[in-house]
Amino acid sequence: MIFTVAIDGPAAAGKGTISRAVAARFGFAHLDTGLLYRAVGAKGGDPVAAAESLSAEDLARGDLRSLAAGQAASRVAVIPEVRAALTEFQRRFARQPGGAVLDGRDIGTVICPEAEVKLYVTASPEVRAHRRWLEVGGDEAEVLAEVRERDARDMGRADAPLRPAEEAEILDTSEMTIEAAVAAAVALIEAALGRAR
Classify 118 as helix, strand or coil.
strand
Q: Is the dihedral of CA 63, 64, 67, 71 positive or negative?
A: positive
Collect contacts of 141-146 with beta carbons under 8 A, ≥24 apart.
143/67, 146/67, 146/71
Is residue 29 within 8 Å of residue 101, measured between CB atoms? yes
> Residue 104: which H helix or E strand, with range?
strand 100-104
3-state class (DSSP) for residue 142: helix
Alpha helices in the chain (DSSP H): 15-26, 33-43, 47-52, 56-59, 67-76, 80-94, 125-136, 140-156, 178-196
Which residue ranges are tagged as binding site for ATP? 9-17
Name the binding residues. Answer: 9-17
